[in-house]
Every structure is written in structure tokens, then in C-alpha cells.
Amino acid sequence: MRRGTPADLSNLTPNRARGQALRAFLPRCLPVQAADAAADYVPAVVARGSVGSLLVLLGGLVTATLPPSAPVLRLEVLGAVRASDVGRMTGLVVVLAGLGLLASAWLRLCRAVAVGDGEAADPRGGIALVRLAAIAWSAPLVLAPPLFSRDGWSYAAQGMLARVGLSPYEWGPGALAPDPFGPMPAWLAGPPIVQAVDPMWWETATPYGPVPLFAGALAANLTGNPWLLVVAHRGVALLGLVLLAWAVPRLAAWTGVNPALASALVLISPLMVANGVAGLHNDLLMAGLMAAALVVAAERGWAWGAALAGLAAAVKVPGGLVCVGIALVSLPAGAAVLARFRRLAAIGAVSLGTLFGLGVASGLGNGWLHALTVPGEVNTPLSATTLVGGVLDWVVAIAGVGAEPALFRDLVRAAGLLAAFAVGGWVALGWRTGSRSTAIAAVATVGAAFVVLAPVVHLWYLLMLPPFVATLRLPRYGTGGLVAVSLVAGLVAPLDSSLHGAYYAIVLGCMTVALLLPVLLLTRVARERLARIMAPLAPGVRS
């Protein structure tokens, strides 16, 4: 591999060289008509995204579920706005306007780093620019409550359970409340730690691994304030963003993809900002660990990669899917089936040892095994198997066959999981070994099969895919599809369970999204921008 290719970024980024590269990079990344304004263009784009993030925060304070004890609710203006349908609709419009600004800034930044690519271009300035934008756009959301989902409040309560000696694998957040409270209306003053927890999960054990629970318990040793605990969990999630910032350029170097553009598609997309940062879901940390595991396996040995894969699974079990890529990248070219089985067994042993060992070392045990069915207690419209099974159940009910309720839903869900495992086996035993680019494609394929066929799918489940999809040599319209999915998944994030009952707000939100998408994707300027994003590749790098 030639010195100076993207794979050598870790050795070629001293502060002085980075500054020079960024200054040299900016004029090349601008449209011709804006060349004279190069010094102002990029800061304006970053500033636009920061304003969008701030609007998401302000609007989220109106639409998000907050514990009644939250000090911010003592502001009479905020309380009045939250109490009215008009106020909530206004808050939702502010959130969507903020996401629209973020999306516009993201597309412009993607175009900037894409146009700056070429034989003579140094991608280090583009990567530095993307990382700067990631910091600037995440900063306003660090202190925000959980947005677009109430899961963050459950994380805080689960950490408190572990801190007081109650296993989150045996008890739900309701165990922290005195019996008279139960799942209470929002206006009742119960214990602060459980006030904003979704009543659906009040008595439900957690399916998450020991890593987020142990981190939550450590934070609960310092404070019992649920908002501060949520901020601590967001800090843990942001570690995943840091890992992605480190790993994605290295993965891109394996396939010859523009590392700056790949970083932009992963780190600062509306999908990432809305669901990973604002939503503070554990999937962000899991995705960062998965990407790091594959890089470490190729550069430091499969055993270290397998240990990181076990750590990813200790956040959420699907993180272990990266083991398929680790096996392929660590075997020599043309490995026989028996050698594949042996390597998979060895990687599995290390990963499972790490996973179960963390449960023992943390004192939390491995009760998550019994709670893996918890997510399946809800039906989500993004789950293809749930939709197909539900339609079959409806047809059977109309026909008067008298089958058990949800019979076909459960059967189709089980078939979907078996099919996902079959895809994983096919990739692990049949795909090319000894190729880094194939390993990336393997993780993307197995991860996509899981997301498509899983019994429950939320928007944030998609976070595991961009680090591997964006670093592949995609067909021209493949990159366009990734951009479109990331855009839509970010813009529709506010239209979730936090708005249940606010039907006018949901309708207004859908109308706003319907207006934003054509502006961002279908106008002449938008099409030209997408064409420039889809075009470039970095200089070829051997796999």
C-alpha cells in the first residue's frame, strides 16, 4: 500500500499538517461560483447545523416526556406551552425545522467533502471538518432529555436498580416506587427516578447486556437525579460516536472509498443525530464497538477483535454479528470449510467469554438471556415479519378458522429469525476469506438481514448499518439510497410514541416532513448535490 493513502491517516495527522490540509482542502470542496467565499462557506454550514441542533433541543423540551419533578418545568411559559395542543404542535414544528436545518447542512457538507476528493486532494482536512461538525452538532443535545423515545428514562432507572442491589434482569423500574404509586399518571408526584418511565416497561426486566447497566450503576452512585443520569447515559452513547470517528476512515481505506465522505455519511447524518445522539440509544455504542472490533481484528489480531465483539454484545446482543466479518478477515484466502468452523468456534469462545465474564465481573450476572424476548412484547410497523404475520392472522380471523391469536405472527417471526441465522451461516461459510472489503460487506449483509427479519425493529436499529454500508464501493444509486434512508429516518424520528394521543401534532408532523423531503431531495439544486455526493471514490486501495 502506498504511503499517503487513506490507510495511513493515523500516522499522518499532526496538528500542523491537519491545519494546513484543512486550509488547502476548503477551496476545492466548494462550488465554482462560491470559490471567492471559501473562508465563510464551511463555517456557515457548520453553524447552520448547530442552529438546527439547538432548535431540536428547544422543541424537544416541549414534545418530550419529562418527569414532573424536572426543574425546567417550573418555568411557567414552558408548562403552559406543553399543556396545550397548539403548544405541542408548535414544539413539533420547531423540532422538525431544526432537523431540516441539520439535514440541509449535512447534505451540503457531504457535497463539500465529496467534491474535494481526487488524486491530488488530501482527505485529512475533510475528516477533520466532519469531526468538527459532529462535535458542534452534538454539543447542544448533550444536556437534553431523551428525545423521540422514553428509553433513556428506563436506562436511568435500570442503573439505579443495579445500584441499590436489585437485578435489572429480575426487576422492572417499578420496583423503585412504593406500592401505592404503581404505574401512575404523569401528574402524580412519585419517585423522580421512575416518573418518566414508559408504563409499558414498568414491570419489565431489561434485555440489555451488563455494559450499559454497570455504567448506569456507576452514575447512580454519584447522583439520583434522573436527568443527570440520562446525561451520563448519553455520554456513554457518545463513546460509540468517538469509536466510529476512529474506525470509519480506516474501514473506508480498505475499499478505496473517500474516507471523509464515509465519515460524513455515518457520523453526522440525521439518522445518527436524531436517533443516536438525541435518542441516546445503546445501539450507538454497540455500532461503534462493532466497527472498532473489525478494524482491530484486521490490524491487531482476531482475538482482540473477538474480545471487542463480545463487548459489543455486552451492550446489545446483535453486536456479536460482527464476528462473521472478523472470521472472514482473519482467515487466509481460500480457507476451507473446516478452517472456517474452527476460526468461528475460537472467535465465538472469546466473544462469549468476554460477554459472560463481564456479567460475572460486574456482579450483574447474565440474566439478560431470560429477557431477550422482552422486545417482542410490542409490535412495530418497521418489522416486516410482524406485518406479514399480522396480515395472515387478520385473514385467518376474517375466514373464521378459529386459530390462536397472533399464531401466524409468532410463526413468521420465528421463520424470520431462522432465515437471518441462515444468511449469517451462508456468509460465514461461503464468502471469500482474507479480504478486508469482503469482511465489511459481510457485516453489512448479516446486519441488514437481522434488521429486515427481526421480530421488532425501531428506527435506531438502523444505526448498526451505516458504518459498514457507507464504507463499501456502492453502486451510484446505492449511495443515494443510503442518503435518502438516513434523511428520512432522521426526519421521522419525532413521530414516535412520545406523541401518542397528540393526533393533530402527528398529522402536522407528517405534513411538515412531506414538505421537507422534496426540498432536500428532489429540487434541481438537491439533485445536483446528490449527484456530486454519489460520484467520487478515493484512489484505489488493495483489499
Per-residue CA distances from 363 to 169, 211, 357, 367, 383 (Å): 12, 11, 10, 11, 34
pLDDT tens-digit readout, 38-90 = 334 677 888 999 999 999 999 999 888 888 888 888 888 888 888 887 888 88
Burial of 256 from C-beta contacts in 10 A (0-12 / 13-18 / 19+): buried
Ranges of each domain in the chain: 6-147+251-264+493-534
How many residues in total does the chain contain?
A: 543
Cβ atoms of residues 95 and 512 within 8 Å: no
Q: What is the pLDDT of residue 8?
A: 43
Q: State the average pLDDT over residues 402-430.
A: 89
- How far apart CA 385 and CA 453 sit, in angstroms, is 6
Highest mean pLDDT among 17-21, 25-29, 88-92, 448-452: 448-452
Query: Which of 266, 268, 262, 270 has the alpha carbon at shortest distance from 488?
Result: 270
Q: In the numeric block, which cell numbers belong to residue 133?
A: 461538525
Cα 342 to chain center, whole Å? 32
- How far apart CA 375 and CA 414 sit, in angstroms, is 14
Cβ atoms of residues 146 and 153 within 8 Å: yes
- How far apart CA 214 and CA 355 sit, in angstroms, is 13
pLDDT tens-digit readout, 464-482 = 999 999 999 888 778 888 9
Asked if the model's pLDDT at residue 426 lies above 90, the reply is: yes
Q: What is the pLDDT of residue 4?
A: 37
Query: Using DSSP, how many helices (H) and how many strands (E) does the chain show?
Result: 21, 0
Q: What is the pLDDT of residue 115?
A: 75
Q: In sequence order, what are the residues at sequence separation of 6 or more whose Cβ sits closer than 8 angstroms to the Cβ of residue 381?
A: 387
Highest mean pLDDT among 10-19, 77-86, 109-118, 179-188: 77-86
Query: Which of 323, 255, 241, 292 has the alpha carbon at shortest distance from 470?
Result: 255
pLDDT tens-digit readout, 145-202 = 999 888 899 999 999 999 988 889 888 888 887 765 555 554 444 688 888 888 888 8
Cα 149 to chain center, whole Å? 13
Q: What is the pLDDT of residue 369?
A: 78
